[in-house]
Structure 1
């Protein structure tokens, strides 16, 4: 049985809404049955009918949608909601969904503030429902392979972590030209305390922690607004300390003119290192201390079970962003199914980012901003 889901946001002109719908559809585990696709009721209903939904399940607001859906027979109503709105419209619909018994999958960052993130984490623990967070890059098979090999001790004790996320699309003052994506991402009333820090820095920090198995414990950050007139940071860098004593460096910038989406992670331990880049996501470089570099490729039989489970095609057939996104949806679908059958044991048992990751993401944003403003060299990171 497919999981019936509704969507909040993601209407006409939305980039991320279309990505979520394609990812959800890729493995035939979900059926979109309703939506509140815009804060403008006319646009919301127009967007829904364009997606083939019946007019009576295209709602003018998320509150209307959830109140109406819970009154439908159990076999018809939505079971989960996908929230793909700007950051300031994450908390209210997620909290309402959980209160009414609906599972949630939500775009990152989880909320507008750390306080909201912690409230959502507590609500999930209270209700026992499923909440997944789409930190997309954790869905790549070769990222999972790196995580597995490090957890198995392949690099020994981790000593150094470099993670960089350069983009160039905000090198000019796009928000002044009516660019929708630039507009809300650089508006503190919609994005929250962090610009580049919240938009892509959270991805970088999450990836470093996910693959290494370590937690960031201290931050020494430099936060900049490079483009004149911009209200939020578009450039950030930080020195990091990790839970085992390892050190690291993180870069998150959206003013690296000429760059597209060049996320890269390098991790080094006492036995060697590894490297993964979003520009070649089907490759993992494994670098032993005393042997030649190994080029590991997606689709091959020597990969771990988690990597194999995230693949749909044989070697030499590239898989990318949509498939990584879909892997999170597949894991979310399994958790929702297990919840319905009474076998769900909490988000820790599933390979998708959850509310704990969401809380750490918001702590990262607030810690980066606080460190950037402080004269103190190191800022603790909980």
Structure 2
């Protein structure tokens, strides 16, 4: 982190203007460990909103842009231009900015899912970035220390051969039709801006990425039932998916935005022939680990049993002091800063990549296709 004396990275942002939830989250995450200075932005496609938003967060007038194309050209030409950019737009506006900045030799930090379509995801992955520009996909839940601990437990064989995986991510905020002035809901329920998936693309991909990150198992096929319960809604708001993994393991994934009483219920359960583990995002500093025939163990973030490098490298405060969502997000930003500085070896395999983004789009595409075929088993390799 920059507080060790490392030079701060000049950061820009596309999207995330005044009132945008995820843009604010990215700005906070980039500041927590002192690794970045936000110096430029194309914060809205509307020039007047872009100007106002840039002024509100203290950007210099000549670093406030009305389009990402203008920003990429101008910043690449400046001797003090940005070194990295955060893309925090709706899904359909991920591909264009990511392509422009990678081709300009500027590192890209992009919110998930990677793009609105699988075709765009594969086209983005085929780009040859200028000057070796790097890419980070912000599946931020992989930044939790105990999720890193869970991954290590699986890798160590502590759970034995994985048999069953259950991931779920229920919310209730879209239980009723979205109001026209609800910016967060309007684009997520619009196929033109969100892509083919609703809840599956917004939160289902998080649950899917989490189970893949922890277990390392490759998905073979999915059988999906995607439903739109709210009348008139064009995209799914509830998702039930069964998964088959290479090697024989089986999984279930549930994502919903109409589960009344659920605020943000991301959780993961993994069971092998020797043990199992259970973790919830709403209480992320604790995880249950059980060896077959023995009492459950409560593992704590930074506690006595979490002594592996991956789970402790970004523990910021002593055990018993809670860390949460923003810190997990900040972990990805901090570790990507080290990748940019050329010190990324300790984080190999821990940071979500373009390839993870493409697989996420394959998962969405296969699930939509399966659901349209009444749950027919659909291979990810065939979409």
Whole-angstrom CA distance in 2 between matches of 1:17 and 1:281:
23
Residues 299-335 of structure 1: CA distance to partner in whole angstroms, max 9, x if unpaired?
A: 2243121111121011111100000000110121111
Structure 1 gap ranges (5+)? none
Comparing 33-42 with 118-127, greater Cα deviation is found at 118-127
SS of the residue aligned with 1:105? Answer: strand
1:218 and 2:218 correspond: no
Structure-2 change in CA distance of 1:157 and 1:12 (3 Å): same
What residue number does 1:260 align with? Answer: 263
Question: Does the aligned pair in 2 maintain the 1:221–1:237 contact within 8 Å?
Answer: yes
Does the alignment pair 1:319 with 2:319?
no
Contact preservation (8 Å) 1:335, 1:350: no
How far apart, in 2, do the equivalents of 1:239 and 1:112 lie? Answer: 23
Find the aligned partners of 2:287 and 2:254 in 1 and give their Cα distance.
21
Residues of 2 paired with 1:372 and 1:207: CA distance?
A: 22
TM-score computed with the length of structure 2 as normaliser: 0.95
Q: CA deviation at 1:349?
A: 2.3
Cross-structure match for 1:353: 352
Instruction: Say which SS state the counterpart of residue 281 (structure 1) adopts.
Output: coil
Distance 1:127 1:170 in 2: 43
Q: 1:45 aligns with which of 38, 41, 51?
A: 51
- Say whether the 8 Å CA contact 1:124–1:131 is kept in structure 2: no
Residue 120 of structure 2, aligned match among 98, 116, 121: 116
The aligned counterpart of 1:64 is: 70
The yes-or-no answer on 1:103 pairing with 2:107 is: yes
- 1:168 match: 172
* Residues 1:228 and 2:234 aligned together: no
Task: Supply the distance in 1 between the matched residues of 2:267 and 2:133 (Cα, whole angstroms).
Answer: 33
Can you list the C-alpha shifts for 1:210-256, whole angstroms capped at 9, x where unaligned? 00111211101001000001110001101110122100100011000
Name the residue aligned to 2:3: none
Q: Distance in 2 between matches of 1:321 and 1:281?
A: 9
- RMSD of aligned alpha carbons: 1.5
Cα 1:169–1:124 change in 2 (3 A) is farther
Alignment match, 2:17: 11
SS at match of 2:116: coil
| Distance in 1 (alpha carbons) for counterparts of 2:128 and 2:200 | 26
Contact 2:101–2:107 at 8 Å: present in 1 too?
A: yes
What is the aligned partner in structure 2 of residue 279 from structure 1?
282
Deviation at 1:127, TM superposition (A): 6.0
Contact 1:225 1:233 (C-alpha < 8 Å) held by counterparts: yes
Q: 2:334 aligns with which of 330, 335, 351?
A: 330
| 1:188 maps onto 2:191 in alignment | yes
Deviations, residues 58-99 of structure 1 (Å, cap 9, x unaligned): 1111111111111211xx110011000000100001000011
Equivalent in the alignment of 2:149: 145
Between the aligned partners of 1:17 and 1:244, the Cα distance in structure 2 is 40
Which residue matches 1:372? 371
Equivalent-residue separation in structure 2 for 1:241 and 1:19 (angstroms): 34
* Residue aligning to 2:160: 156
Q: Which of the numbers 20, 27, 41 marks the counterpart of 1:21?
A: 27
Given that residues 335 and 347 in structure 2 are in contact (C-alpha distance below 8 angstroms), is that contact kept between their aligned partners in structure 1? no
More moved, 298-307 vs 98-107? 298-307
Structure 1 125/34 Cα, relative in aligned 2: closer, same or farther at 3 Å? closer
Does structure 2 conserve the Cα–Cα contact (< 8 Å) formed by 1:331 and 1:350? no
Match in the other structure for 1:269: 272
